[in-house]
A and B are shown apart, each in its own frame.
Chain A
């Protein structure tokens, strides 16, 4: 299955030694978080504040025949009840992803409150604000509603059939994308073998520990302020439209986010808060319960992906035909873009000259699906890596060797015809993962039968697997993405960074500070950051799409360099030396050849200030701007760049119980350049573990439109006891398009984990399980089916 492979030496690459970037410094956000001082969205309160609740649909698909909120309204202590009738025509542009002002797609509007028809269990119908939470909860029970059930559809393939119930008119197709590259027929004709398989992946719940929360109030100028846990402060625009006020009259103050992963990318509580504070003129707080969080926010898209692949006896892929059906759930949200990601990455990090991909996103009466770390990439990876294993096994080829013969290399083109311009360290990462698995203490000896010797119980089979991947970072290039950051030097030598960057815990704002500290030569402790205020910080775009380090990191770098230039030029006059002979470090400007010739930055700042030289700069970074891909061929640039890597696991499969135990997990990624290696390793290990949960544990179980696992006791996410410590091997090619050569790692860290697990399980039991999660039931069913007469 997988033999021994020498570790591929790294090609020559330059990684200049820097003073603060590349060091695992104490993060600027860590102190507040470790002492309990950080004020998260739900921790904030105001005098005279009301408490809100949302009344939601109990039906998957129904017409609302009667809605009577009069009893709720007359309950003492209830300040306000809003229904769709109070907000005629109020709609949310659900697929407007951020700040760049591009037009939204037709048909993607979602009613703010359902008044005629509900489309999933959890659809919002009414809002209540009351003096206490207990009164608000009582008021919900007094709302009277009658439904006329409508035929519902819960399966995307069923929803595509003629005569299926229609979720939103005119039909259930939310979006389609396709790729037509090369000559498919000729490619299949050149193949010695054609292999076809179907892969299925389920819903996944973000399960951040912080449920959605916020507080809104109207300030003395009449501006609606919303202090909220969000990945996107630019939602103030959609809120203004839905509430009916100018965009300048909505201010979003983003808080430290207690986990986002894409689930706080779409609007959550903020629109309800805006409406209730507008109606009551009082501060309002809304925090979802855990169950409501499960029901109300988006999920990862389930997919059914079929690969038909032509390959030569030597393991060269000659053609691939891929179809992907995504379940969009009750509303579009970001499904069109998620589907594009899946289609654009469907072929994997492999050179396939003859390629057809057809993707469709389909409405059902299940919860709506939208962004989740990887945004369609992990689903694609589960399928393309499963297919690589299936091909290798059918050819009797080593699973790594098959991949190696087809890997993309720098200069090659992806499925959409985009040229890979940065390092594509697929061999480098995969061989390191394989070597680390070989070193595993669990099973160090190979046997003739491969990897199925005894471990523990005699019924236990051991298997090793790995997956390679590529995943974009940065937004779709035809969205014309921009980010702004402001950097200023104060007269005491401290530095301030201002940027509208939501921090999800990945270290987004710390990275900006470390970059400014590096460029301006001040210790990190002297850098303060003001982030995430749509009215007061420059708009920096969304903390999504693995874009903040790339976009806002570059904007911060530009702003800091502009301030540095002023300082260096003034210091050059002072020292009577060329600018090139000077540097900034440790809070001083100094002559490199003679560091004793130095000037405190505070002193230099005062000189500049008195001479009217600007010590602050607002910079805008622009991603490459491209035209959309050709809709008929799917050819064109889609993303700024890609991150490459591999993930490997060793598993023990108990063939009696079907239980899969991960014995070892290894992640190896080319991160380009780690701005803060401790934070980067945290991302790589944490993202990988979310992927392990996706692979083995997380079962978002829907039955006829009802969620059967609406708690953390039923929907299980990884605990400290479920998986071993991930071994992280971080490579730095220095070739990324982010600051100092950084690539993005937030989403890529998750992408390869699930296919690696599937690969290891199939290595252990000799049967490929092509559906997630790989539960004991699925393993046992697969074993039973494979037995003679089973």
Chain B
């Protein structure tokens, strides 16, 4: 059975017919061809599929493993994926910092980590290293040892504070 759902994804409004058992991850990757969001386990264990979701009525977006959300549940939500992180051809300071510091190696975990880090900096603009580590605990990375990722998030936080000043 299919459901009609409304989604706003990266600022664009969509009306989609989705099978009841499809996940938000499948809808993003297969129907909208937003393949920047990755499928690493389909079990909520790796965080590669994380996107930002602002649920209907919520006042801010939160990072969500899109493989753990059935598409009909997301009806009315506003979603930001890795493809929506940059604005007006301007990279998010986090993207800039990841590129500058070399925080992305194989890059498969990078989209999930970037959107998760964006949510962290939105709620905690000046996170401690421990806060960064706690925020990333659901995003597995097998390449980096997390060292440069943490450096990059700290760098982006500094850049964000300088802009705010």
Seen from chain A, the residues whose Cβ lies within 8 Å of a Cβ on chain B are 24, 26-27, 29-40, 42-43, 206-211, 256-261, 287, 289-290, 504-507, 676, 678-679, 681-682, 685-690, 711-713, 717-721, 723, 725-726, 728
Contact indicator A209/B95 (Cβ below 8 Å): no
Q: Which 10 A-B pairs have the closest CB atoms?
A: A36-B36, A505-B106, A33-B107, A258-B108, A678-B102, A36-B82, A689-B145, A43-B35, A685-B145, A505-B105
Consensus secondary structure, chain B interface: loop
Excluding A43-B29, A209-B108, A506-B105, 10 further A-B contacts by CB distance (< 8 Å) are A42-B39, A208-B108, A211-B41, A258-B38, A259-B106, A505-B105, A678-B148, A687-B145, A711-B43, A725-B145
User: Within 8 Å CB of B37, what residues of A?
Assistant: 36
A-B contacts, 14 of them at CB < 8 A, read A35-B83, A35-B95, A40-B108, A209-B108, A210-B106, A258-B106, A261-B142, A289-B42, A505-B107, A678-B148, A682-B102, A682-B105, A712-B41, A717-B142
B162 near A: Cβ within 8 Å? no
B65 near A: Cβ within 8 Å? no
Residues of B74-101 at the interface with A, using a CB-CB cut-off of 8 Å, are 81-83, 85-86, 91, 95, 98-101
Contact indicator B105/A720 (Cβ below 8 Å): no
A603 and B136 alpha carbons, distance in the complex (Å): 50
Contact indicator B140/A685 (Cβ below 8 Å): no
A211 and B91 alpha carbons, distance in the complex (Å): 28
Contact indicator A33/B104 (Cβ below 8 Å): yes
User: Nearest chain B CB to A501's CB is how many angstroms away?
Assistant: 14
B2 near A: Cβ within 8 Å? no
Pick the contact of A711: B45, B85, B141, B144 (CB < 8 A).
B45
Q: A686-B144, A713-B45 are in contact. Are A210 and B133 (CB under 8 A)?
A: no
Contact indicator B111/A36 (Cβ below 8 Å): yes
A35 and B110 alpha carbons, distance in the complex (Å): 9
A42 and B143 alpha carbons, distance in the complex (Å): 19
Name, among B29, B144, B146, the residue most crowded by chain A CB atoms within 10 Å (CB to CB). B146
A207 and B82 alpha carbons, distance in the complex (Å): 23
A260 and B108 alpha carbons, distance in the complex (Å): 11
B150 near A: Cβ within 8 Å? yes
A402 and B139 alpha carbons, distance in the complex (Å): 42
B164 near A: Cβ within 8 Å? no
B127 near A: Cβ within 8 Å? no
B40 near A: Cβ within 8 Å? yes
User: Within 8 Å CB of A287, what residues of B?
Assistant: 39
Q: A30-B102, A720-B139 are in contact. Are A689 and B40 (CB under 8 A)?
A: no
Contact indicator A505/B143 (Cβ below 8 Å): yes
Pick the contact of A37: B36, B108, B144, B146 (CB < 8 A).
B36
User: Within 8 Å CB of A682, what residues of B?
Assistant: 102, 105, 143-145, 147-148
User: Within 8 Å CB of A32, what residues of B?
Assistant: 107
B15 near A: Cβ within 8 Å? no
Residues of B105-120 at the interface with A, using a CB-CB cut-off of 8 Å, are 105-111, 114
Pick the contact of A720: B38, B104, B150 (CB < 8 A).
B150
Consensus secondary structure, chain A interface: loop
User: Nearest chain B CB to A679's CB is how many angstroms away?
Assistant: 6
Closest to A506 in B: B105
Contact indicator A507/B105 (Cβ below 8 Å): yes
Contact indicator B45/A35 (Cβ below 8 Å): no
Pick the contact of A259: B39, B83, B85, B142 (CB < 8 A).
B142
User: Within 8 Å CB of A685, what residues of B?
Assistant: 144-145, 147-148
B48 near A: Cβ within 8 Å? yes
Contact indicator A33/B110 (Cβ below 8 Å): yes
B134 near A: Cβ within 8 Å? yes
User: Within 8 Å CB of A33, what residues of B?
Assistant: 104, 107, 110
B46 near A: Cβ within 8 Å? yes
Pick the contact of B110: A34, A39, A207, A257 (CB < 8 A).
A34
How many interface residues does chain B have, given as a range?
35 or more
User: Within 8 Å CB of B81, what residues of A?
Assistant: 36
A778 and B57 alpha carbons, distance in the complex (Å): 51
User: Nearest chain A CB to B59's CB is how many angstroms away?
Assistant: 26
User: Within 8 Å CB of B110, what residues of A?
Assistant: 33-34
B32 near A: Cβ within 8 Å? no
B137 near A: Cβ within 8 Å? yes
Pick the contact of A209: B82, B100, B140 (CB < 8 A).
B140
User: Within 8 Å CB of B134, what residues of A?
Assistant: 720-721
Contact indicator A504/B147 (Cβ below 8 Å): no
User: Nearest chain B CB to A668's CB is how many angstroms away?
Assistant: 15
Q: A209-B108, A686-B143 are in contact. Are A678 and B40 (CB under 8 A)?
A: no
User: Within 8 Å CB of A678, what residues of B?
Assistant: 101-102, 148
A165 and B157 alpha carbons, distance in the complex (Å): 61
Q: A720-B136, A720-B139 are in contact. Are A34 and B145 (CB under 8 A)?
A: no
User: Within 8 Å CB of B144, what residues of A?
Assistant: 682, 685-686, 689
Contact indicator A210/B108 (Cβ below 8 Å): yes
Contact indicator B107/A720 (Cβ below 8 Å): no
Contact indicator A726/B145 (Cβ below 8 Å): yes
User: Within 8 Å CB of B101, what residues of A?
Assistant: 678
Closest to B129 in A: A725
A713 and B36 alpha carbons, distance in the complex (Å): 24
User: Nearest chain A CB to B70's CB is how many angstroms away?
Assistant: 15
Pick the contact of A713: B43, B82, B133 (CB < 8 A).
B43
User: Within 8 Å CB of B150, what residues of A?
Assistant: 720, 725
Q: A676-B102, A682-B147 are in contact. Are A34 and B95 (CB under 8 A)?
A: yes
Closest to A210 in B: B108
A725 and B151 alpha carbons, distance in the complex (Å): 10
Closest to B36 in A: A36
User: Within 8 Å CB of B46, what residues of A?
Assistant: 209, 290, 712
User: Nearest chain A CB to B112's CB is how many angstroms away?
Assistant: 9
Contact indicator A35/B36 (Cβ below 8 Å): yes
Q: A711-B45, A712-B45, A713-B43 are in contact. Are A720 and B102 (CB under 8 A)?
A: no
Contact indicator B146/A689 (Cβ below 8 Å): yes
Closest to A26 in B: B99
User: Within 8 Å CB of B146, what residues of A?
Assistant: 689, 720, 725
Closest to B39 in A: A42
Pick the contact of B106: A257, A711, A718 (CB < 8 A).
A257
Contact indicator A720/B148 (Cβ below 8 Å): no
A114 and B81 alpha carbons, distance in the complex (Å): 42
Contact indicator B145/A209 (Cβ below 8 Å): no
Contact indicator A35/B86 (Cβ below 8 Å): yes
Contact indicator A259/B43 (Cβ below 8 Å): no
Pick the contact of B137: A37, A717, A721 (CB < 8 A).
A721
User: Nearest chain A CB to B123's CB is how many angstroms away?
Assistant: 17
Contact indicator A29/B107 (Cβ below 8 Å): yes
A633 and B40 alpha carbons, distance in the complex (Å): 47
User: Within 8 Å CB of B138, what residues of A?
Assistant: 719
Contact indicator B106/A504 (Cβ below 8 Å): yes
Residues of B19-58 at the interface with A, using a CB-CB cut-off of 8 Å, are 29, 34-43, 45-46, 48
User: Within 8 Å CB of B41, what residues of A?
Assistant: 211, 290, 711-712
Name, among B85, B136, B143, the residue most crowded by chain A CB atoms within 10 Å (CB to CB). B143
User: Within 8 Å CB of B100, what residues of A?
Assistant: 26
User: Nearest chain B CB to A370's CB is how many angstroms away?
Assistant: 18
Contact indicator A712/B106 (Cβ below 8 Å): no
A717 and B85 alpha carbons, distance in the complex (Å): 28
